[in-house]
Amino acid sequence: MGSMNNIKALIVMALLLAPAALAQKVVTATDATQVTRVLAANGYKFSLDSENDGTPLIRLQIGDGYKAILFFYDDDPGQPGYESLQLYAGFSVDGKIALATVNDWNYNYRFGKVYLDDELDPVIESDLDLSGGVALEGTLLVFIQNFEAAFDSFVEEVVGE
């Protein structure tokens, strides 16, 4: 009898949780309006801007007041919105970072890539591909949280702040 009650309880829980799971629409592309709506609803500080060609970008505050840029990529003419996003942050350190430090960081961390730009300043980036379909709000928030965690270790281990 106890087993039957457990099965009934699981069925009731599944029925109660199903609408919440289905409420998140799966998207294969997004735009600045959708992203800023998610950011605002979750308390992020940001400003909407655009690149010279009109592509949107978002200047986002992360961590302890640091700035990152959220770029929109892969504008498919066959559908509205952009199929991928990239978070980017960099520091100006006058070439004081050793390539071995960058390589060590990349070896040890998964959710970001670090490199030295053309001025030998350290940069961290992370990409999110939407084209396979994602529940935008949850995926975007996890993407930003993962970037913030990677960024914190980048600042500590690579930049040295």
- Express each pLDDT in 52-87 by its tens digit: 999 999 999 998 889 999 999 999 888 889 999 999
**For 84-94, what is the mean pLDDT?**
94
pTM for this model (two decimals): 0.83
Q: What integer best gives the mean pLDDT of the chain?
A: 88
Q: Which CATH architecture has domain 26-159?
A: 2-Layer Sandwich (3.30)
DSSP string, the chain: -HHHHHHHHHHHHHHHHHHHHHHS-EES-B-HHHHHHHHHHTT--EEEEE-TTS-EEEEEEETTTEEEEEEEEEE-TTSSSEEEEEEEEE---TT-S-HHHHHHHHHH-SS-EEEE-TTS-EEEEEEEE-TT-EEHHHHHHHHHHHHHHHHHHHIIIII--
Is pLDDT above 60 for 32? yes
**Is the pLDDT score of 3 beyond 60?**
no
Domain ranges of the chain: 26-159
